[in-house]
Amino acid sequence: MNVGFDLDKIFINYPPFVPDGLIDRLYKKKANGELSYRIPSKAEQIIRLISHYPLFRPPIKKNIEIIKKLHRKNTDKYYLISSRFSFLRNKTEALIKKHELDMFFDGLFFNFGNEQPHFFKKAVIEKLKIDLYVDDDLRLLNYLLLENSKTKFFWLNAKESRKLESNLFAIKDLSEMFM
């Protein structure tokens, strides 16, 4: 089985004391109701680069422990699929190395070509024939499930665990993917 994971809010947390809604507002844009993301301006990129220092991006240790255990079982293939833009390349590589995440995945895929994140993830999921995929972005998952009915999608959130669609499930804990 091929299993895909997003990076942010799955293995690396947002900066403390910064509301998720603010980050979403800075990252997503409204385009006639269509899903769309924007590459930050140069000034915003500087702020985002500062916010991506390891001090401001703590690991989600519980989820890292889960991927370590899964990796040790060696029964499936695990892929990290992140839509981080190219201006975050060095910070992303440093975080991956610092938390040794590259040790637990069969492949790391980043959006350093600056595609729209949902198009990038759709292409990678199709190319790798991902069976299970987890992300924290519900709007992105809703787009992906319409584009790929063979993949089972999981929305990692802190509020609820339940079936949302035939192939979309809300989960509060990463281990729920494998129940």
Return the pLDDT at 52: 81
Return the pLDDT at 24: 62
The residues facing 110 across adjacent strands are: 82
CATH number at residue 76: 3.40.50.1000
Poorest-confidence range of 39-43, 64-68, 75-79, 89-93? Answer: 39-43
Q: What is the pLDDT of residues 11-62, one digit of tens each?
A: 999 877 666 666 666 566 555 567 888 888 898 888 888 888 778 899 999 9
Give mean pLDDT, residues 53-76: 91
Phi-psi region of 52 (alpha: psi -120 to 50; beta: other; left: phi over 0): alpha
Name the residue range of residue 129's domain: 2-178
| Number of structural domains in the chain | 1
Q: DSSP assignment of 46-83, as one string?
A: HHHHHHTSGGGS-B-HHHHHHHHHHHHHTSSEEEEEE-
